[in-house]
Chain A
Amino acid sequence: MDFTHTHDRRMLADMASRLVREKYDIATRHKIAAGPGGFSREMWAQFAELGLIGALFEEKSGGFGGQGFDIAVVFEELGRGLVVEPFLANLLAGRLIAEAGSEQQCAMLEEVIGGTLLLALAHGEGAAFYDLAHVATRAQKGDEGWVLNGEKAVVLNGDSADRLVVSARIGGDVSDEEGIALFIVDATAKGVRRRATQTVDGGRAAEVSFGGVKVDSDAVLGEPGAGFAPLERAVGLGILALSAESLGAMRMACDMTLDYLKTRKQFGVPIGAFQALQHRMVEMLMEVEQLSSAVINAAGHLDDPRAVREWHISAAKNLAGRAGRLIAEESIQMHGGIGMTWEYALPHFAKRIVMIDHLFGDEDHHLERAGLLARMRHP
């Protein structure tokens, strides 16, 4: 057992940290987020050049890492900068291709890692809530391939993606794990309609509909009907990434709040002199440390049997949700009025932290899931 990072991983974290600190101040971030597509292609190219996209992929896919701790350290730093570039979308769809794809399909990952090809995962649907197996979108086998019909909801960075990884049902009931197929679809293919939207935390997403979209047989990703397992693995990596991103954002919110308690004076003293605030600040710091441990646990158990791996993933996401709401709400409260202003950085961190709870299962979803998985582990 060892809780120190390797030299290489510390270098990776330092590099990501420096880039975010030096090039991604809050004003730059707002400017980028408000621009076309909601992110900067220039910045994305820089991230690619420095190997931060490649760090999310294994060597066999042309990446430079791809282990749980690589993902965790990169996303923690992204969280500190509220980075809006489409790291998560490309991690989810890219790792799904790496997991299930043919050699030919995996070849496109080189462009993804190089920052020249953008992917998004079109999986969630309006009626799914957080049920990962819920897929109503249908794929029908035709003469020369497949025909897709259905609607996907809140596809992260789906508005600017070049290709979409789409889940569609070829058998079973609407929320069966069996019968899900995965397809790689050109985002500009005939019948694909995208309605772009901003998100409340400064990101971008799209509602994507597939109306009789025809794809070739070689667009099928992995074994048709057996898509759930690779999907769960890829989303597990996404949840790890989000938990780490949230951790980074929480560390920033705590730093800002701690600083504010020391400098803001009322009644002639720094407000941090008041015990009512001190103890709440301590609660926040303790929960951040707990989340930090849960992220380590999730990153370190990715190669374990499913019930263990997924339990740790759910544990991290549940803690990210719980700690997140505490820190987001308390940091705004302790800042008082200034915490309510757009101009100040803190509330933007709070918004991102809370919205992460709405991605791939909130704290309640993962609490219930952890309970079910615990009974699988200890029958």
Chain B
Amino acid sequence: MELKYSSEETAFRDEVRAFLARELPAHLSSKVKRSQRLGKADIEEWQAILHKKGWLAPTWPKAYGGVEWTAVQRSIFEEECCAAGAPRVLPFGLNMLGPVLMKFGTDEQKAHYLPRILDGTDWWCQGYSEPGAGSDLASLKTRAVRDGDHYVVNGQKTWTTLGQYANRMFCLVRTSSEGKPQAGISFLLIDMASRGIDMRPIITLDGEHEVNEVFFNDVRVPVANLVGEENEGWTCAKFLLTHERTNIAGVGFSLEAFDHLRHIANAQKKRGRPLSEDPQFAARMARIEIDLEAMRTTNLRVMQAATSGAAPGFESSMLKIKGTEIRQAITDLTRRALGPYALPFASEALDAGHNQPPIGPDFANPVASEYFNNRKLSIFGGSNEIQKNIIARMMLGL
């Protein structure tokens, strides 16, 4: 047991800090720090910078252009990026599809798609959920029927995050209705420019366009775009989930958000004293900080054990639940720290270049909106209740 960074780890942290100080554009970190909207170009710009440095794919094998960092290095990188205000790297190509292709893809698929994920040619979105298939994902109905060298796809996907920017989708489709629901699912790669695809925005409770619904009407997909065997897509989906949950704890986000909360609670006053000194509020903060510090160590323990071969099962679901609970608790308390100034909301102030003076404290505007947006954390990626079912099944074996 050694909780201090080794000299190599400290040197790595310094290297990451120097890189961020040098390469992270101020116009991007300024948006992140002020919770302003990031556009497609912003995200692509940052990913290109990381790619140039060779740091875009921390978990990929070097043979595919990855970095093969240790668990501790990945954690350092994540925490430093969050602290510096770097835009988040999107998981769809890098953490979800990439590992699936490496495991189940043909040589042609790997050679074609993996470099394009790294160099930003492709922006992938995820075609999993459907209006009738949320937590019960295996009940999905979008159908792919073989017609010569093509599948013909009909149906509807929903909650497609940032699909408006994507040129490709990895998609679960039904290729058979025989046997158990899981048995007839296939994993397809779909070009979003194909005829018959219609994407419509879903505006979320905070007024933002982050997710979409996607309609497929006789969309022709080459059979060569099937990953793995036909009707074996559930295997890919399950494999993908374990990788999606790499970094699911979101420790870096929480540490940064808690720092921000501390700043706000010091600035806000209650009866003339900093809110952070109010016994009730201080206790609420202390409780979150205690949970966060413990979770940070749990996360590192799990990640380090995973590197040394132990399978993350129970642990990854636990990290999803705890990590999202803590992130939600932080945004909840940040909202409460504002008092009445949680109410005023100028949506236009979330755009870069907005130069009107703020209403209330300069940190106030995005807080309540973020609180509402973060309710998604315990719903997506397998709701926290589903995660508990998964853990219970593993523990009880019933």
Contact = CB atoms under 8 A, between A and B. Distances in A.
A293 interface: yes
Interface in B243-299: 262, 276-277, 279, 282-283, 285-287, 289-291, 293-298
A146 B9 CA distance: 53
Contacts of A281: 392, 395-396
Contacts of A286: 318, 321-322
Interface stretch (A211-219, A272-280, A346-354): A272-280
Interface centre among A69, A272, A286, A301 (most CB of B within 10 A): A286
B5 interface: yes
Interface residues of A, number: 45
Given A1-B5, A297-B294, A371 B392 contact: no
Contacts of B293: 293-294, 297, 312, 315
A31 interface: no
Say whether chain B's binding surface is mostly helix, strand, loop, or mixed: helix
Contacts of A4: 1, 304
Contact of A296 (B3, B4, B285, B291): B3
Interface centre among B285, B286, B296 (most CB of A within 10 A): B286
A285 B388 CA distance: 11
B391 interface: yes
B317 to A, nearest CB: 8
Nearest to A299: B1
B289 A370 contact: yes
A113 to B, nearest CB: 23
B63 interface: no
B2 interface: yes
A258 interface: yes
Interface residues of B, number: 44
Given A367-B283, A375-B276, A296 B1 contact: yes
Contact of A370 (B3, B286, B388): B286
Interface in A249-291: 258, 261-262, 270, 272-273, 275, 278-279, 281-283, 285-286, 289-291
B301 A3 contact: yes
Nearest to B75: A1
A296 B295 CA distance: 12
A372 B276 CA distance: 10
Nearest to A69: B1
A2 interface: yes
Contacts of A378: 262
A269 to B, nearest CB: 8
B2 A368 contact: no
B18 interface: no
A367 B279 CA distance: 10
16 contacts: A1-B72, A3-B1, A3-B301, A3-B304, A258-B395, A258-B396, A261-B396, A272-B392, A279-B385, A285-B395, A293-B294, A294-B294, A294-B297, A301-B3, A315-B294, A367-B286
Q: Which 6 A-B pairs have the closest CB atoms?
A: A300-B3, A278-B392, A293-B297, A371-B286, A371-B282, A293-B294
Interface of A: 1-6, 9, 69, 258, 261-262, 270, 272-273, 275, 278-279, 281-283, 285-286, 289-294, 296-297, 299-301, 312, 315, 318-319, 367-368, 370-372, 374-375, 378
Interface of B: 1-6, 9, 72, 262, 276-277, 279, 282-283, 285-287, 289-291, 293-298, 300-301, 304-305, 314-315, 318, 321-322, 385, 388-389, 391-392, 395-398
Given A272-B396, A296-B1, A312-B293, 14 more contacts: A3-B305, A4-B1, A272-B398, A275-B389, A281-B392, A293-B293, A293-B294, A294-B290, A294-B293, A294-B294, A319-B294, A367-B286, A367-B287, A371-B285
